[in-house]
Amino acid sequence: MRRTGLALRVERRSVLVCAALAVTVVALGIATLGSGSISFTPGQVLSALFDPDADSRARLVVVTWRLPRLLFAIICGAALAISGAIFQSLTKNPLGSPDVIGFASGSYAGASVVMLLLGTANYLAVATGSLIGGAATALLVYVLAYRHGLHPFRLIIVGIAVGAFLSSLTSMLLLSVNPQQAMLAATWGAGSLSGLGFGQLWVTMVVFAVLLVGSAAVVRPLIHLEMGDDTAVSLGVSAQRARLTATVVGVALTALVTAAVGPIAFVALAAPQIAQRLTRSSTTLRIVPASLTGAAVLVGADFVAQRIDLPVGVVTVSVGGAYLAWLLARQYAGSRR
């Protein structure tokens, strides 16, 4: 598509895939809003959402109680997918997601310190602890992995080690407090979308919008870095600055989700890879397809979680564990050829 002074390349397959994913998210969302102990038909759901004169009971259940949970699932799924796409591009490895590298463990550890040692479950306090924990973990991994530059494989290995240490630290904290506190932290650590309202949603939406702009800004430098540092530098990209900026944005997206709903595993790992295969792209760093895939995955997982009365994090771990095993087996088979 060319206009005076501007040229835009649009891939037809990507547009069709994004449209299909958007329709999937909407369909799953309507099904989620209409199901539960009080069920509604799709027509009743749409009427409750868009008709101010609709039945007050339906509007209370659909808009006040269920809509915030759905919007949280969409935002958190998109944020995790974008974070995963950034780190997989940064490490040039499909296993380079923030939950595997250990940044999610850092956010969980920070939130656990607030809940268990400071003794408060205040939403803003827990969110602050999660953000600080994720940022501190990213800084520690970056410092330990930096040796005459930031090598992607070294970043993954150091991240896994730091994540394992922080998980052990969190477990030690859970065992050192009374059962009531431990149960509260463990329930939050399972990753749940329950009990969230519009009060928490507005803050999350604003922060996500800011980070979305930041993630769009790091796409082009990271694509250049995928071609090698020398090529990126010749195109005017500061390699280390671009990696540091991308790391900050990716960690902030993960910490945002952990602060809002707790750690949700494997969405960041799987969603960018699924989007890449659907669009047949050469890179996972396609923000729109990845974010829509993440939203669809998490909304679908939450729909299942509500049917079996489990936290959504349990569902994503179950499905994601099988996906991780398949991915590792596929990589191993590829290396043997």
pLDDT score, position 331: 63
pLDDT tens column, 245-281: 888 898 889 888 888 888 888 888 888 888 988 888 8
The residue ranking higher by pLDDT, 138 or 32, is 32
Interatomic CA distance for residues 219 and 258, integer angstroms: 23
Question: Over 60: is that where the pLDDT of 335 sits?
Answer: no
pLDDT score, position 205: 92
CATH number, span 15-306? 1.10.3470.10
| Rounded mean pLDDT, 231-238 | 77
Q: Is 325 left (phi over 0), alpha (psi -120 to 50) or beta?
A: alpha
Q: What percent of the chain has pLDDT over 70?
A: 92
Interatomic CA distance for residues 191 and 195, integer angstroms: 12
Closest among 121, 80, 116 to 264, alpha carbons compared: 80
Question: Over 70: is that where the pLDDT of 62 sits?
Answer: yes
pLDDT tens column, 100-149: 777 788 888 888 888 888 877 777 788 788 888 888 888 888 888 877 66
pLDDT score, position 3: 63
CA dihedral in degrees (227, 230, 236, 242; nearest 10)? 70
In degrees and rounded to multiples of 5, residue 317 shows phi and psi of -65, -45
Helix (H) or strand (E) holding 2: strand 2-3
Residue ranges of domains in the chain: 15-306
What residues have CB less than 8 Å from 267, skipping those under 6 apart? 77, 80, 81, 84, 294, 297, 298, 301, 316, 320
**Mean pLDDT across the chain, nearest whole number?**
84
Question: Over 60: is that where the pLDDT of 217 sits?
Answer: yes
By the 8 A CB rule, do 260 and 127 touch? yes
CB atoms within 10 A of CB 121: 14
Q: Is 102 exposed, middle or buried (0-12, 13-18, 19+ CB in 10 A)?
A: buried
pLDDT score, position 73: 94
pLDDT tens column, 90-99: 888 777 788 7
